[in-house]
Amino acid sequence: MHGLKVIFKKELADHFSSYRFIILFSLIGMVSLIISYMVGLTIKNELQGIAKPKFVFLMLFISQGGLFSFVQFVAFFGPLIGLILGFDLINRERNEGTLSRILSQPIYRDAVINGKFLAGVTTISIMMVSIILVITGLGLKMIGVIPGVEELCRIFLYLIISIIYISFWLGVAILFSILFRSVTTSALAVLAAWIFFSFFIPLGANIIAKAYVPDTGGENPEVLIRQASIQRAISLSSPIILYSDATATIIDPTRKTTRSFVLMGPFEKISQERFSGPLTIDQSLLIVLPYIITLIAITVVCFSISYTVFMRQEIRSA
């Protein structure tokens, strides 16, 4: 146990003193601030003189300011945080010969990988918490609305899901840093994985769906539904889509389903149209629970693979 603590402390200190972290943090902090400032400005102007609607605070996170909303921004660029923090955690130490040196001290081999992962997760958490705090503070000042308990709970849940999501990418990065001996290769692999899941799958899903159920000309609802369901099934294999769907429902109480409109069943449509009140937080949570569980599951799977490979790997330097 003490080995884990020592490694954790060192890794955490390393993250916080690295230029990589400082650059990443300022970049993401800056973009988030700009987004929420623009959103805040819009909200403030539009709400001038009228009663504040419910959940106006959450609008800070889900309304688009400029190009993205904050939620979209994290879904898309959040992975880069995890990937950049983790892509060279193991192979750099192997190449510099420090891995064999710490492993010849009396600590368990898993303490190294657990310590590194936990330190990464802690770094990610601190980053996300401080960014969300800053946005909240800015929002308070700009729109002058104090968020209710439920809004705070939703933001908190959003935060937790985001941390799990970015940690998943950290896990992917650590796996690559174990599989590839060269830091450059793992950097490229990590980038490729990000591009694949963020661009390729959403695009590919559309193309495959169209190929599988060809357009028949005109607007055939059956064709549209089948296309949409295939597209959705494929998209769900991307953690980015999983996360976007889950957080959109958590942070937007008026969203009652994670499905798109085309795919709604008749009852869903009726409930959507007739009962337009917002969902309570536990109902929202119920909808996205499978997504959260899936996110945790793929993180665990990814980490277990890293673990198994690392425990069997030859530790000689170079």
Partner 1 sequence: MNMEEHVIIETEGLTKIYNGQIAVDHVSFKVMKGEVFGFLGPNGAGKTTILLMLLGLTEPTSGKVRVMDIDPTRDAIKVKGLIGYMPENMGFYNDLDAIQTLRFMADLNGIPGKIADERIERALKIVGLEGDAIKRVGAYSRGMRQRLGLAELLVKEPKVAFLDEPTLGLDPDATNRIIELIENFTREKEMTIILCSHFLEMVQRLCKRMGIMIKGRMVAQGTMDALAREKFGLDQNEYTLEEIYMKYFQET
Q: How far apart are CA 276 and CA 301, in angstroms?
A: 39
Residue 315, binding choice from ligand ATP, partner 1, none, Cβ under 5 to 8 Å by partner class: partner 1
Decide: is 6 part of the binding site for partner 1 (CB under 8 A).
Answer: yes
Out of 3, 82, 120, 239, the only residue in the binding site for partner 1 (CB under 8 A) is 3
Q: Answer whether 172's CB lies under 8 Å from 302's CB.
A: yes
Reference 47, options 149, 142, 151; nearest CA is 142
Q: How far apart are CA 236 and CA 258, in angstroms?
A: 11
Task: Find the shortest distance in angstroms from Cβ 318 to ligand ATP.
Answer: 8
Decide: is 219 part of the binding site for ligand ATP (CB under 6 A).
Answer: no
Sign for the CA dihedral angle at 216, 218, 222, 226 comes to: positive
Task: Find the shortest distance in angstroms from Cβ 98 to partner 1.
Answer: 4
Footprint (CB under 6 A) of ligand ATP, residues 277-316: 314, 316
Residue nearer to ligand ATP on the CB measure, 103 or 281:
103
Decide: is 105 part of the binding site for partner 1 (CB under 8 A).
Answer: yes
Task: Find the shortest distance in angstroms from Cβ 106 to partner 1.
Answer: 4
Reference 77, options 249, 189, 240, 232; nearest CA is 240
Footprint (CB under 6 A) of ligand ATP, residues 142-171: none
Residue 44, binding choice from partner 1, ligand ATP, none, Cβ under 5 to 8 Å by partner class: none
Question: Phi/psi class of residue 55: alpha, beta or left (left: φ > 0; alpha: ψ in -120 to 50)?
Answer: left
Residue nearer to partner 1 on the CB measure, 96 or 215:
96
Task: Find the shortest distance in angstroms from Cβ 309 to partner 1.
Answer: 15
Residue nearer to partner 1 on the CB measure, 291 or 310:
310
Neighbours of 194 (CB within 10 A): 21
Neighbours of 33 (CB within 10 A): 15
Out of 14, 206, 272, 296, the only residue in the binding site for partner 1 (CB under 8 A) is 14
3-state secondary structure of 69: coil
Q: Answer whether 156's CB lies under 8 Å from 65's CB.
A: no
CB nearest ligand ATP: which residue? 316
Q: Answer whether 28's CB lies under 8 Å from 77's CB.
A: yes
3-state secondary structure of 144: coil
Out of 36, 58, 77, 93, the only residue in the binding site for partner 1 (CB under 8 A) is 93
Contact residues for ligand ATP (CB under 6 A)?
314, 316
Contact residues for partner 1 (CB under 8 A)?
2-3, 6-7, 10, 14, 17, 93, 96-108, 314-318
